[in-house]
Amino acid sequence: MALSITLLCGGCGILTSPDLNPKGPIAHAERQLLFDALSVMMIVIVPVFIMAALFTWRYRGSNAKARYTPKFDFYWPLEFLVWGAPLAIIVWLGVFHLWPGTHRLDPYKPLPSDVAPLQVEVVAQDWKWLFIYPEQDIAVVNELAFPVNTPLSLKITSDTVMNSLLIPSLGGQIYAMAGMQSRLHLLADEEGEYWGRNVQYSGKGFADQQFHAIAMSRDDFDAWVAKAKQSSGALDAAAYQALAKPSSKVPVTYYSGVEPDLFDSIIAKYAHGHDRLAAEAAEAGHEPAQP
Amino acid sequence: MSAVAANFTETPIPPDEARGYEEKAFGFWVYLMSDAVIFALLFATYVVMVGNTAGGPDGATLFSLTRASGETALLLTSSITFGIATVEAARGRRDMVLIWLLVTAALGLGFLFLEFGEFSSMISEGAGPQRSGFLSSFFTLVGTHGLHVSLGLFWLFVMVGQIVTKGLTAPVASRLMRLGLFWHFLDIIWVAIFSIVYLPGLL
Amino acid sequence: MPFYSAIAASGAAVTVLGGVAVMAVVTWFRFWPSLFGEWLSSLDHKKIGIMYIIVAFIMLARGFVDAAMMRAQQAIAYNSDGYLPPSHFDQIFSSHGTIMIFFMAMPFLTGLFNLIVPQQIGARDVAFPFMNSVSLWLTSAGAGLVLISLVIGVFSTAGWTGYPPYSETQYSPDVGVDYWLWAVLVSGVGSTMGGINFLVTIVKCRAPGMHFLRMPLFTWTALITSILMIFAFPALTVVCSMLALDRTLDFHFFTNGDGGNMMNYINLFWLWGHPEVYILILPAFGVFSEVVAVFSQKRLFAYISLVLATSAIGLLSFCVWLHHFFTMGSSETVNSFFGIMTTIIAVPTGVKVFDWLLTMYRGRLIFKPPMLFTIGFLVTFVIGGLTGVLMAIPPVDYMVHNTTFLIAHFHNMIIPGVLFGFLAGYMYWFPKAFGFKLNEWWGAASFWCWIIGFYLAFMPLYVLGLMGMPRRMEHYDIAAWQPHLIVAAIGAFIIFLGIVCLGVQLAVSIRDRKQLLDLTGDPWNGRTLEWLTSSPAAPYNFAVLPKIEGIDAFWHLKEHGLAYKRPAKYEPIVLPKNSLIGLFIGGAAFAFGFAMVWYIWWLAVLSLAAIAALIVIRASDDEPDFVMPASTVQAIEDERFEQLAKAPRNEMEDEPGFVGFPAPEAAK
């Protein structure tokens, strides 16, 4: 009863919700897994509801007509079913959905496509997102633009506490952790402006730590890059230091150029093997950023 | 277990009381299991963090096999002397028990002295637990063992006091038996520390 | 002092005034001597159990206020800052989780164990009554630290899981995380000791004939829970100590840089955290198993399956911790493995649900409040199980992890699963603790408020999770979320009515206790041994240890007319003396925790020395017990049988499953 009221209330919202209304193949496949598993699970769930309702009604104390067998406490076939049915469902779920689904939808796995993927390096900061486009040599705060139908290859790290990057319309999340790089591959097959954000609590500016994820046509994307190129400032070491300070509700900001290997140096300054990565970074001919 | 407790004293222990000692011995075993999990997790953390030196020194430059062997020798010997004390307790020879317990305490103190020297020299060389994740995990693992040894010594002195004032009564003997379990347990942990921390660090 | 906001200041005022009011009442009724003499110093497991449950209810109220404040904030915070600033909102969600897990659910289940397990296995007390008292006071010390953080300083904003590096001093420099750490550490030690105590009690102190496979299901769940406590809580102790070392002495276990690794924290935390989920829910499963059989007036269906399922859950609970962080970048094979292990837990859990339903099948159901909670649980819990299996599939988890879908899921396990179980246990065993039953009308009213409130409060969160709403949002700018959050706030209000009903139920029952009196000790036509004792049970529980002949031991005794046989003469009984040392150790532990939060080193050293001294004093006491003479036992038992003889006709006597009460001649 309460359930149906809530579902009615929620009905309008849930139909347009990003998770159930995916805009890309990853989110679509993740939703499909959700639906598949949900339907398989109904084989156990529905009987529970029916049995609970039926037994509660039929064997109520006032119903003297119902059979009463106070010593009935075991029956092999029933017990076989009780163990067997859930087990069969779990095996089915594991073999046909969980295992293959997890392998297919590994966020580290590049997406097959004829188009070369767009590389973006993502840095979580307090409390904003920095997107570095190494190929285009631009950087943007709180806006992630990309061409539609082009795989988006994200390298993600954090220059602060642990964050988690989620763009619900496009697909699942991955943590961003200092000194480490995580990967996420996404693809939009429909133009539009979606939202993405940090979903791992990170401090007092957490609620506003969101960004626009805009899937646009190739032409629009080129125009967007050109626009960014024309912005006044470049993201050099000093500009980066200023940006990395905690701040909330930072408006979308474009940088026309980026300090070389900025992303790697952000990782290197925290890296655990420290020396190995720092040494590699030094060999590659650049200094780690100042702490 | 009740047989062990009963051996300590000449007068037979009433069954209710014996059951109590048996429960305590079993409970103490369970506690040791739980403590073993603590050490297992500290070992796991150490193994995971052994490479996280953050530009600081690693085990090869810090550890001294001589000192680690000395610590090992002291602690292993103290286990033997505690064993002798246990045997003497079973024979009801109070003075011998006290002597061997004090020898055990001396060996334990010697171990702590060596460990303290090791820690303080590392800290004075700038290789304290604040230096790196590796050193944090080293000091925590070895320090937790050292803390256990210190608590064991404290307990040992309390037992010496109880034997002097109360004699080898059944409750005292049962406590001594549990202290023995604790002491040997710390020995086993130390052997693991020696083989997981010091040997690989040096070889 | 919390003068940063009026709301925080009034929270502090309520805490302080509440404490003062309790002291005033105690003083007014001159209750201090008996409070210290009979309760705070008691080593009687039944009294310790009652005190645990009182702590649980106090903390339930506090934790619920936090929840209601969060729901109110989120209901109004669309494009606005609401009424709570982030710094305050973040403390509230952290303290809500911490309190509900560590200081509501844990004391509640330990209290139920204390009250019932020794009576169910035919023991006179737990194995280590003194350690039991220390456990209680360590738990209370932890709860005290959480409460005092309202008045002095602030609480953590790092959530109940305290993930670093956010919880490190670099990002959380104030004392909040320290309060969290020391509250959790102090009570965690108490829980480990509790686990050891109950394991030894169940393994070593069973009455003759009470084989493992004759133990009631509640005792079985207590056994498995104890084992989980013994092996899981060390992980919590280790991980919190490491974080405390990081914060206090500048170590680098989990810091950003300097060789720290936050992923170790997350692994260690959930190595405790996942078994903890089962530590909470298995005892509730135990309660449901007892209640469903008694109020279906039928044997528990497939006892052996339920025992196996309980053990399987205990074992599997250590193999699934990684599912809390599928999104941390483990390989697809690792994620799949832990996903599959997680779904496998659904099998024994499903078995339990079906076996409970089959217990109802061809029974004669009596809808007393505990049974209502059980049926409500069965229906609601499977929804939580369903969403749990969904989230065990890593790609689905990528979508809904860290969203309110997760919040809805675990509240769906913990409210209908854990809390309904504990409330059912509270209403079922209340007569055993106090000698009179609880009012059933208010119990039923509470149930309906809880279940309706639950659906209204948490079903919208599932929807919101699918809409992408993250947990822990202080405000938001997506209009579509607000209607759901308003419904959720209404749900929280209805749950509040459920809590009010619990209070009214208690008050009304105390007022009407004469009518609700249980003189038989067996108000529900019970099946297990705890109903053999009087209500409340004598200090020694059983004057003569019963001989157990099968499952449903008490039922068996009643059927064969052996339940109320009196021996020719009574023996003297050894019982633990009361001791205030447990209370003092708890007080010193509280002082130690407080000292470590504020870096008051002299107090830390002093309180540790006090604890050491107290332990030595106790360990040097070779006479911790006293002998109750046979004449006293005789007198208590005489009164018990007089009461039995004059007990009025019990409502259960009209039920078809009734097996018979003491023949009146037994009283002679």
Domains in chain C, start-ordered, CATH in brackets?
6-579+624-667 (1.20.210.10)
Number of Cβ within 10 Å of residue C560's Cβ equals 11
Q: What is the pLDDT of residue B19?
A: 87
CA distance linking residue A176 with residue A166, whole number of Å: 11
Question: pLDDT tens digit string along A50-81?
Answer: 999 999 999 999 998 999 999 999 999 999 99
Question: pLDDT tens digit string along B64-92?
Answer: 989 999 999 999 999 999 999 999 999 99
Q: Taking the alpha carbons of B146, B151, B153, B156 in that order, is the dihedral positive or negative?
A: negative
Number of Cβ within 10 Å of residue B117's Cβ equals 12
∠ Cα B87 B88 B92 (to 5°) = 120
Among B163, B46, B143, CA closest to B98: B163
Minimum CA–CA partner of B133 in chain C: C259
User: Per-residue confidence at B12, pLDDT binned at 50, 70, 90?
Assistant: low
| C351 in reach of chain A (CB within 8 A) | yes
Q: What is the pLDDT of residue C29?
A: 85
Q: Domain A2-104, what architecture?
A: Orthogonal Bundle (1.10)
Which stretch of DSSP H or E encloses residue A37?
helix A25-58
Among A137, A236, A126, A142, CA closest to A178: A126
A275 with B53: Cβ contact below 8 A: yes
Average pLDDT, chain B: 92
> Which among C399, C462, C493, C555 is the top mutation candidate for probing chain A, defined by the most A β-carbons within 10 Å of its own β-carbon?
C399
Q: Domain A118-284, what architecture?
A: Sandwich (2.60)
- Which member of C237, C246, C619 has the closest CB to residue B175? C619
Residue stretches of chain C with pLDDT short of 50: 663-668
Among B29, B42, B34, CA closest to B146: B42
Q: How far is CA C588 from CA B158, C140, C583, in A?
A: 21, 12, 9
Neighbours of chain C (3+ CB pairs under 8 A): A, B
ipTM attached to this prediction: 0.94
- Which member of C257, C336, C364 has the closest CB to residue A68? C364
| C250 chain-B contacts, CB cut-off 8 A | 130
Q: Which has the minimum average pLDDT: A4-13, A29-38, B133-142?
A: A4-13
Contact indicator for A174, A215 with CB cutoff of 8 Å = no
CA distance linking residue A188 with residue A25, whole number of Å: 7
Q: Are strands A210-216 and A128-133 parallel, antiparallel or unpaired?
A: unpaired
Question: Which tokens go with A236?
Answer: 């050099």
Which chain C residues in 246-305 lie under 8 Å from chain A, judged by CB atoms? Answer: 256-263, 296-305
| C467 chain-A contacts, CB cut-off 8 A | 13-14, 17-19, 168
What are the DSSP E strand ranges found in A69-179? 118-125, 128-133, 138-141, 143-147, 152-158, 163-167, 171-176
* Mean pLDDT of the region A242-259: 95
Q: What is the pLDDT of residue C13?
A: 86
A269 with C375: Cβ contact below 8 A: no
Q: What is the pLDDT of residue A291?
A: 30
B27 with C197: Cβ contact below 8 A: yes
Q: What is the pLDDT of residue C598?
A: 95
User: Per-residue confidence at B16, pLDDT binned at 50, 70, 90?
Assistant: confident
- Which member of B37, B131, B169 has the closest CB to residue C234? B37
Question: Which tokens go with C544?
Answer: 């003569």
Minimum CA–CA partner of C331 in chain A: A106
- Which member of A13, A173, A175 has the closest CB to residue C463? A13
Domain map of chain A by residue range?
2-104, 118-284
User: Per-residue confidence at B14, pLDDT binned at 50, 70, 90?
Assistant: confident
C466 with A207: Cβ contact below 8 A: no
CA distance linking residue A208 with residue A195, whole number of Å: 12
Are both A2-104 and A118-284 of the same fold?
no
Q: Which residue has the higher pLDDT, C653 or A214?
A: A214
| C353 chain-A contacts, CB cut-off 8 A | 48
DSSP string of C520-541? SS-TT---SGGGTS-SSPPTTS
What's the whole-model pTM score? 0.94
User: Per-residue confidence at B15, pLDDT binned at 50, 70, 90?
Assistant: confident
Question: pLDDT tens digit string along A76-100?
Answer: 999 999 999 999 999 999 999 999 9
- Which member of C192, C200, C251 has the closest CB to residue B129? C251
